[in-house]
Amino acid sequence: MTPENAGEFTAAGQELLQLITPAGERISHPEFDFWVKDITDEQLCSLFEDMTVIRRIDVEATALQRQGELALWPPLLGQEAAQIGSGRAMRADDFVFSSYRENGVAYCRGVDLTDLLRVWRGNASGGWDPYSINMATPQIIIGAQTLHATGYAMGIQNDGADAVAVTYFGDGATSEGDVNEAMVFAASFQAPVLFFCTNNHWAISEPVRLQSHIHLAERATGFGIPSLRVDGNDVLAVMAATRLALDRARRGGGPTFIEAVTYRMGPHTTADDPTRYRDANELEDWAAKDPISRLASLLDRKGLLTAELQQQVQGKADSVAAEMRRGCTTMPDPQPMDVFKHVYSTPNSWLERQQDHYARYLASFGDPAGAVSEEGAR
């Protein structure tokens, strides 16, 4: 068997949880309807707004990159339901440890829009104070954050609290040692952690079948962690699964693994070119399952998709995008000596000496800015 044909040999695996069909039909589920039974029409409209807004944020950030305002951007196009459905299921005192693509989750946590861009503009290594929104600065090392979430969850346990640590990672990350070790620890200590695996089918150019011959959700079972496969383009299904997992963790039931099956409609980052490795037909197939159109169809069937709603949502999305763009272009540049800040939290003689010497070096030009220009000042 080669990775290319592995899919054909996959076990039947778990049911794919779905509450809204791609055509926008609400289908009932004996177990999971319970978890979204309180969702009102108004809340459905609000989820539609959230998803539209984060897509607009994503499009705007991609444009900012193309215009040279950002060095790089990792688009989330196509993953809006997975991020909003889970992000809106959490409590403020839960704590998120994510990868770099969960900008929609950060939006749910209440991130400042300018903070979303700091890293990508090259102005900082982390965009926000993690404690201000209970979300760690996004992790770039693949899968490393799953251990942080597990440790945080062990801390919650020690504190006797009922919060949950939620970690987001991709299909590629499931091959990393850290993710597997995190599941071992989470299971051993029955830590209140939710492993939210966004299976968007691609780890840069590597298809998910190269990472695994079975559904990713099935891997968790081997660790003794209950798992769910959910249609990641179905915002209600994602929310229902996330609520179930969070509730289980709060009640001392330990970790849960959710595989949200979705698709990365865009490139890995703005530096990537997916036409080199994937079939345009595949993209077309997934476009038909678009998470936002799906919810729009449901709203339409329910008579909720009024012109007024659409106008209001678009207006919100546009104003958020404009605010973010303003935040981006007016962001003050960091100062040269900032490079030495926060390496340590206590004085360090080695660094103080280097800092002192560099300050003298800059001062030797009279104009500190000149010393760091590309051409050099000498």
Partner 1 sequence: MTQLTFARAINAGLRKSLENDSKVVLLGEDIGALGGVFRVTDGLQKDFGTHRVVDTPLAESAIVGTAVGLAYRGYRPVLEIQFDGFIYPAFDQIVSQVAKLHYRTRGAVKMPITIRVPFGGGIGSPEHHSESPEAYFTHTSGLRVVAVSNPQDAYTVIQQAISCDDPVLYFEPKRRYHDKGEVEETAALASALPMDKARVLTQGTDATLVAYGPLVKTALDAATAAADEGISLEVIDLRSLAPVDYDAVVASVRKTGRLVVTHEAGQSGGLGAEVAASITERCFYHLEAAPVRVTGFDIPYPYSKLEMHHLPGLDRILDGVDRALGRPNSLSGLEG
Cα-based distances in Å from 204 to 125, 234, 274, 280, 315: 22, 24, 8, 16, 33
Q: Within positions 160 to 179, which residues make up the interface with partner 1, using CB under 8 A?
A: 165, 177-178
Find all residues with CB under 8 Å of 293, minimum gap 6, and list them. Answer: 24
**Which residues have a Cβ under 8 Å from the Cβ of 40 and sit 6 or more positions away?**
none
Q: Residue 75 corresponds to which tokens in the numbers above?
A: 């688009």
Position among 188, 311, 335, 364 found at the interface with partner 1 (CB under 8 A)? 188
Say how far apart CA 240 and CA 251 lie, in whole Å.
17
Report the run of H or E that residue 231 belongs to, with start and end: strand 227-231
Closer to partner 1 by Cβ: residue 67 or 188: 188
Q: How far is residue 342's CA from residue 144's CA, in Å, rounded to a whole number?
A: 22
CA 56 to chain centre: 16
> What is the C-alpha separation between 255 and 264, in angstroms, rounded?
26
Number of residues that bind partner 1 (CB under 8 A): 44
- Of 2-10, 138-146, 201-209, 262-270, which segment contacts partner 1 by CB under 8 A? 138-146
- Annotated catalytic, 29? no
Q: Which of 101, 264, 294, 325 is catalytic?
A: 264
Closest contact distance (angstroms) between CB of 219 and partner 1 is: 16
Least distance to partner 1 from the beta carbon of 344, Å? 5
Q: Does 129 participate in binding partner 1 (rule CB under 8 A)?
A: yes
Residue from 51, 81, 108, 147 binding partner 1 (CB under 8 A): 147
Choose the catalytic residue: 277, 353, 357, 361. Answer: 277
The question of whether 264 is a catalytic residue gets the answer: yes
Q: Determine, following the binding rule CB under 8 A, whether residue 357 of this chain makes contact with partner 1.
A: no
Residue listed under structure tokens 């100062």: 335
372 is an interface residue for partner 1 by CB under 8 A:
no
Contacts with partner 1 by CB under 8 A lie at 95, 97, 124-126, 129-131, 136-137, 141, 144, 146-159, 165, 177-178, 181-182, 184-185, 188, 341-346, 348-351
